[in-house]
Amino acid sequence: MQGDFFQLLKEQGYQFGVPAAAGSEVDIPNATTILAFKYRDGVLVAGDRRATAGNTVMYDRTDKVLEIDRHSVMAIAGVPATAYEMARILEHSFKYYRRTQLQELSFEGKLRALSKLLKENVAAALAGTGAVAPIFAGYDLEQGAAKTYFYDILGAEFEGVEYAVSGSGSPTIRGILHYLNTWGEQPLSEMQEEQAAIQALRLLTSAAEFDSATGGVNREANLYPVIKFITASGVRTMPDTQLKPLFEMKVARHV
pLDDT digits (tens, 9 = 90+) for 182-205: 999 999 999 999 999 999 999 999
The residue range of the domain holding 49 is 29-254
Neighbours of 182 (CB within 10 A): 10
91 occurs within a structural domain: yes
Residue 32 among the catalytic residues:
yes
13 occurs within a structural domain: no
Pairing of strands 226-231, 42-47: antiparallel
2 occurs within a structural domain: no
* 74-210-25 Cα angle (round to 5): 65
Residue 24 in this model has a pLDDT that exceeds 80:
no
Q: What is the pLDDT of residue 203?
A: 98
Q: What is the pLDDT of residue 177?
A: 97
With 0-12 / 13-18 / 19 or more C-beta atoms within 10 angstroms meaning exposed / middle / buried, residue 239 is: exposed
The number of distinct structural domains making up the chain is 1
22 occurs within a structural domain: no
- 193-210 vs 170-183: helix axis angle to the nearest 10? 140
With 0-12 / 13-18 / 19 or more C-beta atoms within 10 angstroms meaning exposed / middle / buried, residue 220 is: exposed
1 occurs within a structural domain: no
Q: What is the pLDDT of residue 25?
A: 55
Nearest CA-CA partner of 121 in 161, 76, 165: 76
148 neighbors 164 (Cβ within 8 angstroms): yes
Tell me the mean pLDDT in the region 14-39.
Answer: 74
- Active-site hit among 32, 33, 62, 205: 32
Alpha-carbon span 238 to 222, nearest angstrom: 14
* β partners of residue 51: 31, 59
Q: Quick one: CA dihedral 243, 244, 248, 254, positive or negative?
A: positive
Q: What is the pLDDT of residue 13?
A: 80
pLDDT digits (tens, 9 = 90+) for 66-85: 999 999 999 999 999 999 99
Residue 21 in this model has a pLDDT that exceeds 80:
no
230 occurs within a structural domain: yes
154 occurs within a structural domain: yes
Q: What is the CATH number of the domain that holds 41?
A: 3.60.20.10
11 occurs within a structural domain: no
Q: What is the pTM of this model?
A: 0.92
Residue 23 in this model has a pLDDT that exceeds 50:
no
